[in-house]
Amino acid sequence: MKRIKLFRLLVSPLGGLLVLLCWNTLVYSQSDDASLLASLSPVSDEMLANPPAEDWLIWRRNYASSGFSPLQQINRSNVQNLQLAWSVDLESGPNTPTPFVHDGVMFMLSTRDTLLALDATSGELLWSYKHVSSVEASARIGIALHGNKVIMPTADLHVVALDSKTGAKVWDSEITTTQSAPRPYSLRGAPVVAGGMVVQGVTATFMPGGGFIVGLDLDTGEESWRFNTVAHPGEPGAETWNDIPLQQRSGGSVWVPGSYDPQLDLVYYGLAPTYNTEPLLRPVDIPGVSNDALYTNSTVALRPGSGELVWYYQHVANDQWDLDWVYERHIIELEVDGEMEKVILTAGKMALYDALDAATGAYLFSIDMGLQNIITAIDPDTGAKTISPNAIPNAEETHLLCPFANGGRNWPAASYSPINKVLYLPIAEVCMNGGPTGQGGILSTGANMQMTPSPLAASDGRFGRWQAVDVTSRELLWDHREVVPPTSAVLATGGGLVFIGTLDESFKALDEASGEVLWEFDLGDIPTSFPISYAVAGRQYIAVAIGTPTIHANLWVGAVNDFLGGGDNVVSRLQRKGPALQVFALD
């Protein structure tokens, strides 16, 4: 096993290291690694549409965002022999990274806009690139690969394409905004290469006019189109903002990468709500005007070549509790009412799934994980949801609302196995005492949101849950529950395993059929990332990044400590050894 201090590599003249210093760029290459880089093949459209089992080319491995690896070398019978193969220390700072692997080379966007190219069998540094700006570092999900390019988003709203063999810059495109400073705009989600474009979502949490999605030319980086995720005056949906001016319309942030169907030629994105909830609380009495606030909490299906909106579906209108419906869109083939359908399956923070027709956006069905009490009824034909009267903010009363605004589920993504048609979802069993308004907080109504255990967690002291769901029968199968909530995405594999990372710094492999823990490893820090699996020269690896702090994980640290009464508990004993990429293989 080899452990590499990347910081020392970057500053050391030792080891025969050839250093090339350019504006905004640091590139390193070692002659021993020349053959590995020279043999790196271009990533074709066909590869992206049908990824090789050995590679991890897209954020959740494929365009369908399954988060599933078909590799079977590591399986239920031998996972107990899984050991740390190599580890690399990373820069400190917020991040939610995803490693990408192609032809034995690993690419990862580390903290502070640093892109690393590593030997995927050893962690040896092949080259690195650092985009320098004055903007404070923020979390990133990942990159995109296409041809001989690695495409990375940056903290200062640039999208940069690099040569995958050398790290040399090919193009650098700045995404312009109407504001003088890039923050609080951000490019948190990984770009998606689709239809000859680089499609990139933009978050705009408090910004007037809201978020947007852009299409950049794959060869030049030039912006070709822009879709506003908050309907502007004169655009379709403009009448759904309660007659408030554009300066008061915000939200629609695009936090997570989209999915893509090459056959339908559609990219699918989930959009966040707005924090400026007070002007939307009560509908105005103007014919033809509503307070639905399009396209917040919607799935939008866009034509990647033009940015044309083909269809949209709003899962929850006028969200008053920041219960984003913004996360991964699974594209699955499923029998619905006796007919095979191509389905978009997605859930927001309530862990309530909606299934939509991928071609038209027509509502098909919903699956509730049993945590939420916000929605009391769902129309079986349209999916329109009835909000509980207790969930309407008011100035007098407090009600137990589930889940908490940090989510029953959040950015840690689910995994879907196309083999057994089972979904594996990480959930936090945490609710909130919601209200009254005027008390402060992130929402403009001032609605208070005080964390409290869910009724189930309050009874047994377990706040983390991993739920297996049969999406064909829509039945909840097993669940695995722990004291601490999930902090990483789920990774399912063809070996019958489900890998999970938790707040107590552990990484586990569960039996996909029962949820039984088959293997466990102490990572030494919190895994706040998207684990992957890949293979090189016939050997399968599991990779996970740790120690990159996030608001999501830090909220759970404070919450669980409070729920357990402070003192000596699982949270107080966290090691927090620091950021690293840890890679496992069979002994």
288 Rama sector, left if φ>0, alpha if ψ -120 to 50, beta otherwise: left
CA dihedral sign, ordered 64, 67, 72, 77: negative
Residue 161 CB coordination number (10 Å)? 25
68 Rama sector, left if φ>0, alpha if ψ -120 to 50, beta otherwise: beta
Contacts of 371 (CB under 8 A, 6+ apart): 350, 351, 402, 403, 408, 427, 429, 454
Cβ-contact 199, 192 below 8 angstroms: yes
Determine the pLDDT at residue 138: 87
68: which 2 tokens? 């599933």
Contacts of 49 (CB under 8 A, 6+ apart): 63, 262
pLDDT tens for residues 516-567?
A: 999 999 999 999 999 999 999 999 999 999 999 899 999 999 999 999 999 9
Helix (H) or strand (E) holding 557: helix 551-563
CATH superfamily, domain 2-586, is Quinoprotein alcohol dehydrogenase-like superfamily (2.140.10.10)
Cβ-contact 323, 350 below 8 angstroms: yes
Cα angle 98, 194, 306 (rounded to 5 degrees) comes to: 135
Determine the pLDDT at residue 332: 98
Residue 365's SS3 state is: strand
Distance CA 198, CA 144 (A): 8
The residue with tokens 């063809």 is: 494
Cβ-contact 437, 321 below 8 angstroms: no
pLDDT in tens, the chain (587 residues): 444 444 333 333 233 333 333 334 444 444 457 899 999 999 999 999 999 999 999 999 999 999 999 999 999 999 999 999 999 999 999 999 999 999 999 999 999 999 999 999 999 999 999 999 999 888 999 999 999 999 999 999 999 999 999 999 999 999 999 776 666 899 999 999 999 999 999 999 889 999 999 999 999 999 999 999 999 999 999 999 999 999 999 999 999 999 999 999 999 999 999 999 999 999 999 999 999 999 999 999 999 999 999 999 999 999 999 999 999 999 999 999 899 999 999 999 999 999 999 999 999 999 999 999 999 999 999 999 999 999 999 999 999 999 999 999 999 999 999 999 999 999 999 999 998 999 888 999 999 999 999 999 999 999 999 999 999 999 999 999 999 999 999 999 999 999 999 999 999 999 999 999 999 999 999 999 999 999 999 999 999 999 998 999 999 999 999 999 999 999 999 999 999 999 999 98
**Domain boundaries in the chain?**
2-586
- Whose CA is closest to 141, among 81, 71, 82, 67? 67
Distance CA 457, CA 562 (A): 13
Helix (H) or strand (E) holding 38: helix 34-38
pLDDT tens for residues 484-515?
A: 999 999 999 999 999 999 999 999 999 999 99
Contacts of 147 (CB under 8 A, 6+ apart): 42, 43, 44, 218
Contacts of 121 (CB under 8 A, 6+ apart): 86, 104, 536, 537, 539, 541
